[in-house]
Amino acid sequence: MDHVKLAVIERHQKTKKIGLGIVKGLGLQSGAIATTVSHDSHNLIIAGTNDQDMLVAAEEIKRMQGGLVIIQDGKTLASLPLPIAGLMSTGTYAEVLHNLKEMNHALLKIGANRHFNPFLTLAFLALPVIPEIKLTTQGLFLVSSFQHISNQASTSKKIETI
């Protein structure tokens, strides 16, 4: 089965709101991926096979002040820091290209789907203006009726993000 956990975490006003869901099709066999490039609000979005790697991903994103990260067994396999608003790099073109190549290799290592870039998919999974079902910090959102279909999930672990 190709179902992994999905979390959208508000990161701008420290509200600690977290929407939780499940996503199918990313192909992840282990680990977690996370990004702050997530249209339109650019909250932190994490997909993962286990809570521990998802938590490590959130912590690494916070440490980098935004970006993209791939975690497996509690370790960072690859990352792309985007410290300017969680969207832009301060690195050179060569550094960014190197990091992206490492990320592509790491995605293969954790079994990500090879037919599309899972980070691009994550970027749109939290965009509640395009069909069909999206995940926001307040829970699942049904675009056709323009309303949430679940309440915000509660969590015993509070994750502070950037």
What does the DSSP assignment read for the chain?
A: --EEEEEEE--SS----EEEEEEESS---SSEEEES--TTTT-EEEEESSHHHHHHHHHHHHHHTSEEEEEETTEEEEEEE-TBTTTB--S-HHHHHHHHHHHHHHHHHTT--TTS-HHHHHHHHT-TTSSSEEEETTEEEETTTTEESSPPPP-SS-----
pLDDT at residue 41 tops 90? no
pLDDT for 52 equals 98
Residue pair 99/78 in contact by the 8 Å Cβ criterion: yes
Task: Summarize pLDDT for 144-154 with one digit per residue, the tens.
Answer: 677 778 654 44
- Phi, psi angles (nearest 5°) of residue 93: -55, -45
pLDDT for 104 equals 95
Percent of the chain residues topping a pLDDT of 90: 54
In 3D space, the residue among 68, 152, 131 whose CA is nearest the CA of residue 102 turns out to be 68
pTM of the model: 0.84
| Residue predicted with more confidence, 107 or 42 | 107
Residue pair 40/158 in contact by the 8 Å Cβ criterion: no
pLDDT for 1 equals 56
pLDDT at residue 124 tops 50? yes
- Phi, psi angles (nearest 5°) of residue 17: -75, 135
pLDDT for 150 equals 60
pLDDT at residue 103 tops 60? yes
Enumerate the domain spans of the chain: 3-148
